[in-house]
C-alpha cells in the first residue's frame, strides 16, 4: 500500500479510485480533518487560524499571499508524506476544485520535485478519453502494488 | 433590535488566511451578518465566462459568479464586502473589477479590502460600520441641512476637532492636538462652545466621529456615534455645496487615508488605509519638524520649490525621511525638499488608493492636510484636475457629525 497524493486534492473520484486499488489517498480532507479533530481553542467551526499562514512559511516566503501559505500549511505536509502522486491538469471544477491558482502552481511544482512515481494526465473531454483516463490511473495504481478491493 | 444588515462576502483566501473569524466579528459588532451568496456549479462556469475576465483561480471565478448573481437580483443583499489576499496580483485585478461592476450596476454599497493573516476585526470595523450605515441610514445621510443647535466632535489620531452649528451655519470651532482622548475632546468642545457663546446644556444633539468616537460618545452622551467615512462624505458635500451629483472626497489623515466616491452625498465605494505612514499626514509633520518650520508653513514653502530636484522613491516613512535628510545634506533647498515631500505623499495616495475607486469630479480634499497647499497642488497635478478645498475643510468630520446629529433632535 502506498500513500498517494492526489491533485486536485479535493477530488472525491480520485480519492475513491486510489482507495479502491488498495492505497491511501492524500487529499485535503485529511489535512482539514486533522485540524477539526485536534482539540484546542480553535476547534470547529473555525478550522484555519492565522497560525496556518505562518506554518506555511515552510513552503512559501512571506511575500507570498497569506491564503497561499494557509493552504500550503494544509497541503504541504501531505506532499511530504506522499510516496506517489497523481496530477490531473486542467480539471473541471466539478472534478475537484482547487480555489487558488497560485497555490495550484506551487503544489504541482513541489510534487514534481519529489523523487516519487507521478502520473500526470489531462482531464478527459470525451468518452474515449474518459475510458483511457480511468485505465491509465488503474494501471498506475496497480504498478504501485495495489490490489483492487 | 433592528434586523441585521446582510453583507454578501465575495472573497478568495479569507478562510485559509485565518481571518474569516475577524471578518465575521467586525460585522457582528455593527449588527450585520456576513453571508456567502449561494449559487450552483453551472452558474460559476456560465457567469465567469460571461463576465469576460479569465481568472485562473477557482475561488475568484466563484466570486465573479456571486457578484453577477447580486447585480442581477438573483440574491438579495444589503451591502457587499470584497476581500482577497494582499499581494495577489490576480486577486487585485478581480477585486477592482468586481467593485467597479457592482458600483456601476447596482445600488449596493461595496467595500473591498486586501487582507493578511494579521488583519483584525478592529481594522475592519470602520469599513463594516460604513457599509451598514449606508445600507441602514440612507434617510439620515440624505439630510442636507443642519437644524437647531448641535455639536460635532471628530477625534482624530493627530488632532481633535469640535464644531458648534446653529441653523445651518458654523458658529463655534475648537481644534486641539490629540493627547489624552477624553481631555482633548473636552478642550475642543469648550473652545467651540466658547466661540459660539452657548452652554453645553443648550445643545439639542451631539454627534461624534473619529478613532475615539466610542469612548467620547459615551463620555458626552452623544446621540450619534458614527465612523468617519460616511460622516466625512456628508461634511465634504455640505461644505463644498455639492450635495447633488457625483464627487470624490480625499482625506489624507494622520494615521490613514480615505478616498470616497460619493453620489448625492452618499458614499458608494471607498478605500481606507494606506500602505505605510510614508503616505500620510504624519510624514508631512515629520518633514516640517526636520525643516524646522511649523506644519502650517510647509505648504507655502513647498509651492516655492521643485520636487523633481529631490530623489524620493520610497513608500516607507523611515526611508522617506532618510531621502529628505540626504537631499538636505547634498545641498537641496528646504523649498525643494518640502515640495518633494508633498509630491511623495500625493503620489503614494494616487498610486495605492485612488486606483481603487473611480475618480469623479469635482475632487474635494478635506482634513488638516488639505490646508497644506503644496499637497493639494501635487494631488491636482497628478489627477489633472482642479481640487476643491472648502472653507473649514479641516473640521470636516466635526461638521458632518454636527449636521447628521441634527437628525436626532427630539420631535424629528
Average pLDDT, chain B: 90
Residue B356 contacts A, CB cutoff 8 Å: no
Extract long-range pairs of B163-166: CB within 8 Å, 24+ residues apart. B163/B192, B163/B392, B163/B395, B163/B398, B163/B399, B163/B401, B163/B402, B164/B192, B164/B193, B164/B195, B164/B196, B164/B198, B164/B203, B164/B402, B165/B399, B165/B402, B165/B403, B165/B406, B166/B196, B166/B198
Q: Which residues from B are below 8 Å from A97, CB to CB?
A: 58
Q: What is the ipTM of this complex?
A: 0.80
How many angstroms separate the CA atoms of A17 and B18, rounded? Answer: 32
pLDDT > 80? residue B222: yes
Cα A56 from chain centroid (whole Å): 16
Q: Do A101 and B61 touch (CB under 8 A)?
A: no
DSSP-derived secondary structure letter, B168:
T
Q: Closest residue of A to B40, CA-based?
A: A94
Contacts of A126 (CB under 8 A, 6+ apart): none
Q: Closest residue of B to A48, CA-based?
A: B18
Residue pair B287/B341 in contact by the 8 Å Cβ criterion: yes
Residue pair B311/B320 in contact by the 8 Å Cβ criterion: no
Residue pair B167/B148 in contact by the 8 Å Cβ criterion: yes
pLDDT tens over chain A, length 149 residues: 899 999 999 999 999 999 999 999 999 988 888 877 776 655 555 678 888 999 999 998 888 899 999 999 999 999 999 999 999 999 998 899 889 999 999 999 999 999 899 999 999 999 999 999 999 999 999 999 866 66
Q: Do A65 and B88 touch (CB under 8 A)?
A: yes
Q: Distance, in angstroms, between B119 CA and closest chain A CA? A: 9
Beta B257-263 vs B266-273: how paired, if at all?
A: antiparallel
CA distances from B197 to B83, B149, B189, B204, B219 (A): 48, 12, 12, 15, 22
Task: Using alpha carbons only, give the angle B115, B119, B124 rounded to the nearest 5 degrees.
Answer: 90
Q: Distance, in angstroms, between B42 CA and closest chain A CA? A: 9
Q: Which residues from B are below 8 Å from A69, CB to CB?
A: 17, 117
Better pLDDT: B109 or A86? A86
Q: Per the structure block, which three cell numbers stand in for B411?
A: 420631535
Residue pair B171/B205 in contact by the 8 Å Cβ criterion: no
Is B144 strand, coil or helix? coil
Helix (H) or strand (E) segment spanning residue B153? strand B149-155
How many angstroms separate the CA atoms of A72 and B46, rounded? Answer: 29
Residue B41 contacts A, CB cutoff 8 Å: yes
Q: How many CA atoms lie within 13 A of B349 on its CB side?
A: 34
Q: Express each pLDDT in B176-215 by its tens digit.
A: 999 999 999 999 999 999 999 999 999 999 999 998 999 9
Q: Closest residue of A to B92, CA-based?
A: A65
Q: Distance, in angstroms, between B59 CA and closest chain A CA? A: 4
Q: Express each pLDDT in B61-97 by its tens digit.
A: 999 999 999 999 999 999 999 999 998 999 988 998 8
Q: Do B16 and A98 touch (CB under 8 A)?
A: no
Q: Do B16 and A101 touch (CB under 8 A)?
A: no
Residue pair B86/A66 in contact by the 8 Å Cβ criterion: yes
Amino acid at each position: 500500500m502506498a500513500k498517494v497524493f492526489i491533485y486536485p486534492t479535493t477530488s472525491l473520484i480520485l480519492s475513491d479510485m486510489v482507495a479502491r486499488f488498495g492505497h491511501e489517498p492524500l487529499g485535503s480532507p485529511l489535512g482539514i480533518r486533522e485540524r477539526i479533530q485536534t482539540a484546542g481553542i480553535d476547534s470547529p467551526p473555525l478550522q484555519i487560524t492565522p497560525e496556518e499562514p505562518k506554518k506555511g512559511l515552510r513552503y512559501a516566503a512571506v511575500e507570498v499571499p497569506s491564503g497561499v501559505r494557509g493552504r500550503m500549511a494544509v497541503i504541504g505536509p501531505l506532499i511530504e508524506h506522499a510516496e506517489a502522486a497523481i496530477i490531473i491538469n486542467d480539471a473541471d471544477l466539478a472534478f475537484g476544485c482547487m480555489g487558488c491558482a497560485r497555490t495550484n502552481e506551487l503544489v504541482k511544482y513541489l510534487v514534481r520535485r519529489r523523487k516519487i512515481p507521478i502520473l500526470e494526465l489531462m482531464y478527459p473531454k470525451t468518452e474515449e478519453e474518459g475510458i483511457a483516463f480511468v485505465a491509465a490511473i488503474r494501471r498506475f495504481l496497480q504498478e504501485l502494488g495495489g490490489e483492487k478491493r | 433590535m433592528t434586523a441585521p444588515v446582510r453583507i454578501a462576502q465575495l472573497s478568495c483566501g479569507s478562510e485559509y488566511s485565518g481571518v474569516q473569524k475577524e471578518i465575521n466579528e467586525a460585522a457582528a459588532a455593527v449588527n450585520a451578518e456576513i453571508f456567502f451568496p449561494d449559487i450552483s456549479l453551472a452558474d460559476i462556469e456560465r457567469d465567469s465566462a460571461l463576465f469576460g475576465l479569465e481568472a485562473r483561480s477557482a475561488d475568484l471565478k466563484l466570486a465573479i459568479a456571486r457578484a453577477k448573481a447580486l447585480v442581477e437580483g438573483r440574491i438579495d443583499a444589503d451591502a457587499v464586502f470584497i476581500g482577497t489576499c494582499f499581494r495577489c496580483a490576480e486577486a487585485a485585478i478581480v477585486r477592482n473589477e468586481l467593485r467597479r461592476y457592482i458600483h456601476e450596476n447596482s445600488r449596493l454599497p461595496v467595500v473591498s479590502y486586501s487582507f493578511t493573516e494579521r488583519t483584525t476585526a478592529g481594522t475592519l470595523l470602520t469599513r463594516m460600520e460604513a457599509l451598514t450605515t449606508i445600507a441602514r441610514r440612507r434617510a439620515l445621510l440624505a439630510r442636507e441641512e443642519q437644524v437647531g443647535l448641535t455639536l460635532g466632535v471628530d477625534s482624530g489620531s493627530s488632532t481633535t476637532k469640535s464644531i458648534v452649528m446653529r441653523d445651518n451655519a458654523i458658529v463655534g470651532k475648537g481644534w486641539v492636538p490629540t493627547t489624552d482622548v477624553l481631555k482633548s475632546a473636552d478642550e475642543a468642545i469648550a473652545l467651540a462652545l466658547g466661540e459660539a457663546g452657548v452652554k453645553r446644556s443648550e445643545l439639542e444633539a451631539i454627534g461624534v466621529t473619529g478613532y475615539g468616537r466610542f469612548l467620547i460618545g459615551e463620555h458626552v452622551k452623544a446621540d450619534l456615534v458614527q465612523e468617519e467615512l460616511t460622516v466625512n462624505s456628508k461634511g465634504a458635500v455640505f461644505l463644498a455645496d455639492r450635495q447633488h451629483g457625483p464627487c470624490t472626497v480625499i482625506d489624507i489623515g494622520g494615521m490613514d487615508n480615505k478616498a470616497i466616491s460619493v453620489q448625492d452625498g452618499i458614499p458608494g465605494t471607498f478605500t481606507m488605509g494606506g500602505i505605510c505612514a510614508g503616505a500620510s499626514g504624519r510624514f508631512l509633520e515629520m518633514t516640517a519638524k526636520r525643516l524646522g518650520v511649523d506644519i502650517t508653513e510647509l505648504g507655502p514653502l513647498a509651492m516655492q520649490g521643485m520636487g523633481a530636484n529631490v530623489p524620493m522613491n520610497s513608500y516607507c516613512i523611515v526611508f522617506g525621511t532618510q531621502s529628505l535628510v540626504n537631499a538636505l545634506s547634498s545641498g537641496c533647498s528646504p523649498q525643494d525638499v518640502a515640495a518633494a515631500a508633498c509630491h511623495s505623499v500625493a503620489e503614494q495616495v494616487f498610486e495605492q488608493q485612488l486606483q481603487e475607486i473611480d475618480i469623479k469630479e469635482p475632487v474635494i480634499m478635506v482634513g488638516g492636510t488639505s490646508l497644506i497647499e503644496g499637497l493639494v497642488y501635487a494631488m491636482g497635478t497628478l489627477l489633472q484636475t482642479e481640487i476643491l478645498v472648502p472653507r473649514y475643510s479641516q473640521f470636516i468630520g466635526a461638521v458632518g457629525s454636527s449636521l447628521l446629529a441634527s437628525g436626532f433632535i427630539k420631535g424629528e
